[in-house]
Structure 1
């Protein structure tokens, strides 16, 4: 097969946020970097946020589920044996193109779950190890928020002021003050004033379907233009099917297929995987060889295991007053960590973060999201029900910590393939008893919150199926090579010039939106790679 160019120093697979952070930093140091991305640059001309037909026509190009979106860049995911459907976006910018932009650091307790609660594992690093990298990536992505949240250790806060709290934020914040519960202005990857390439948010509430206004800090805007300017070669439409290995067991390149079905190989001294918690284990399993019969970097048998998907629940309240919740940041107006830490009296361990969000326009008022399939709007009272919901509602989105279990995993499907004939991933995932109890508790408390804020009726949609945005844990990092895939710097124990820098390396999931920590980890691992470049083993 043809080698498409001269040998690179670094080949990165995946142009999402982790790949963007790594590529930009490496290019700043003068490395020759090639990035292979199976998607394309987002075409925001197709984003309909400023048009009346937005809710009707958002799904074709900006839908969350690759099994229904079926764009050329997508691969199918078999979720028939999973309680949650995986949600992802294959493009330059990756999941940040359609993420809700909620931006949160992990709390210190998230790094030592075994020590504190006697379950799962401690991370091989602590909050303080990541703190300076959190601060740097927050500046790079243009995060808006407010420093000083007493739930977090003191330190530098986001570079931009928070998004407006709006009527729903002020109302619920006042209720939490009366209850004595924590709340804080929302932290989001949403610009509130001009910042680098970002424009100020105009509050359309379309963050989840491509931000045509240029306010959301997605990696295609914050990082990739600069990375390309610095000399990174970003190849789109490149579907990687295998990592090549030399006779000494070192990664030697990436085999990929272009949109015309032609096969190429990009040779590089170091390979970085940044293909998310599904794509990364899939590629490692696809790269099985005589010396790596169970998959590349899988001597521990942990590749694909311990998948965590953050069960997600919603509680929505109806208010007599117009709460202006058809628009706003989506995103979050405020958040609460009142019930984030373990309390043994509750009958489960760990907790969840809640983010207060708008509920969308008239079409959104008729969908399962965020109302739940058990609360249909259709029937003789259809118009009355839509009027009651439209603009008069607010929702708490609940991100529940998911404990790692080896039975929850990613495997290769024996029959399902993508359009190039490459085996597709199959998800084996069941929500645990601990997660179920945790969600039941938090749903009940969120209902109390909205009722205290004056909601005359509440709807519960626990554990919505199409919410697997956060794919974590399938190539765990750790000190012990028999129970982990990579070391604390993201380097594979079995393949010393192979690195993983996405959410798959998380030992536990926290209860936070993960992009901040994924990016901070990627920056930390990249800086270590740079500092150790003279001792890095590479193919001959």
Structure 2
């Protein structure tokens, strides 16, 4: 847990609030040819040991070893279909602007809530005039992101925040569920991390501090290694007013129409996050913080992208079924966060991965029944 985790965990014990050790996809022992963490604390800059899990280490080497071909620097501009309404492959563009068609018996999208919706809308044709797999009209709709805030407690003693993995040490779901006494529904997950090394002390999210100029050295002497941050991920409600469409005037460097994002923080999210920030401040004060700084509803935090290709049993009310297969195109699957029906208030990666593995198993098990283009 580290010094920060132990200190805040004890405060939650005293308050009677929930806490639990937070799982991190970082090795503590050698595994599968990868080295364990050596406690450098620079995880966000890349892990030289390969201890931090990422698909280039955990999945792609095995896939390539099994015969998969990885094409990089490729922009897919359209999913192609035949007269029977089955996907036949994808048209992609290389950095020089040359177009290629990759044929396929099964097409799987994993471009997440913005990219997947964009590609489905780009793939419209006479059979699918409103976009591929969009008979429900829900492709691009119900975009969700996690409203995000950070609350940092500064302590008088060193917490050795530069040491160890730069990930969450403990988590709390104390205020995760709907409380009828509140003026909002749902809740949020909290994840506690040390502030980290020198560069992380001068990020703009450290609200209320002058990090450059004459104050810089004084700030570093006062705060370095002495901070602990609650990162707060609020549950975002699925609203059709938040959506993706194709931009009529803006294209990328390959000439492919760009996605246009319509998203507005709801009043429910604002009230929810205001409450969570106040409770996180209380948590850190109880742990002994002498100063607390907050940054609520950070604008650059839309990295958890969900919705826009809803999962469900009813083709009229959803885009894919429970195995993430399109209701409209029998050999088209979507294995990313766009299939989420709700956002929950937690990091989505583990759920995306679990669903993708489940879908892969189902594709293999049902391959003899799978409709494919001739």
TM-score band w.r.t. shorter chain = over 0.9
The answer on 1:322 being equivalent to 2:322 is no
Q: 1:410 to 1:376 in 2, by over 3 A?
A: farther
1:227 match = 63
Match of 1:452 among 286, 291, 305: 286
The answer on 1:335 being equivalent to 2:171 is yes
Deviations, residues 79-136 of structure 1 (Å, cap 9, x unaligned): xxxxxxxxxxxxxxxxxxxxxxxxxxxxxxxxxxxxxxxxxxxxxxxxxxxxxxxxxx
The answer on 1:443 being equivalent to 2:277 is yes
How many residues are matched? 374
**1:206 deviation in Å?**
2.1
Q: 1:229 to 1:341 in 2, by over 3 A?
A: same
SS in 2 for 1:269: coil
SS in 1 for 2:50: coil
Contact persistence 2:93–2:99 (CA under 8 A): yes
**1:376 deviation in Å?**
3.3
Question: Please, which runs of 5 or more residues in structure 2 have no aligned partner?
Answer: none
Contact persistence 1:329–1:357 (CA under 8 A): no
C-alpha distance in structure 1 between counterparts of 2:214 and 2:332, whole Å: 60
Match of 2:104 among 268, 272, 283: 268
**1:385 deviation in Å?**
2.1
Match of 1:180 among 16, 24, 31: 16
1:408 match = 242
1:280 match = 116
Answer with 298-307 or 197-206: which moved more.
197-206
Question: Please, which runs of 5 or more residues in structure 1 have no aligned partner?
Answer: 1-164
Match of 2:181 among 345, 348, 354: 345
Contact persistence 2:138–2:309 (CA under 8 A): yes
Q: 1:433 to 1:197 in 2, by over 3 A?
A: farther
C-alpha distance in structure 2 between counterparts of 1:347 and 1:206, whole Å: 40
**1:378 deviation in Å?**
4.2
Match of 2:77 among 241, 247, 250: 241
C-alpha distance in structure 1 between counterparts of 2:33 and 2:172, whole Å: 30
**1:217 deviation in Å?**
1.0
**1:239 deviation in Å?**
1.2
Deviations, residues 293-331 of structure 1 (Å, cap 9, x unaligned): 111111111111101110111000110001111233221
SS in 1 for 2:63: helix
C-alpha distance in structure 2 between counterparts of 1:209 and 1:502, whole Å: 24
C-alpha distance in structure 2 between counterparts of 1:411 and 1:202, whole Å: 45
2:262 match = 428
C-alpha distance in structure 1 between counterparts of 2:36 and 2:183, whole Å: 44
Aligned-CA RMSD value: 1.3
1:250 match = 86
C-alpha distance in structure 1 between counterparts of 2:22 and 2:332, whole Å: 37
C-alpha distance in structure 2 between counterparts of 1:312 and 1:318, whole Å: 20
2:35 match = 199
Flag as ranges the 4+ runs of structure 1 deviating above 6 A.
none
Answer with 195-204 or 249-258: which moved more.
195-204
SS in 1 for 2:357: helix
1:56 match = none
Match of 1:308 among 144, 152, 155: 144
C-alpha distance in structure 2 between counterparts of 1:202 and 1:432, whole Å: 42
Contact persistence 2:80–2:89 (CA under 8 A): yes
Answer with 495-504 or 415-424: which moved more.
415-424
C-alpha distance in structure 1 between counterparts of 2:210 and 2:13, whole Å: 33
Match of 2:219 among 382, 385, 404: 385
Contact persistence 1:329–1:358 (CA under 8 A): no
C-alpha distance in structure 2 between counterparts of 1:303 and 1:448, whole Å: 41
C-alpha distance in structure 1 between counterparts of 2:63 and 2:42, whole Å: 27
Counterparts in 2 of 1:7-406, with a 5 A limit? 165-369=1-205, 371-372=206-207, 374-378=208-212, 380-406=214-240
C-alpha distance in structure 2 between counterparts of 1:209 and 1:413, whole Å: 33
Match of 2:335 among 495, 501, 512: 501
Contact persistence 2:42–2:197 (CA under 8 A): no
Match of 2:347 among 513, 523, 526: 513
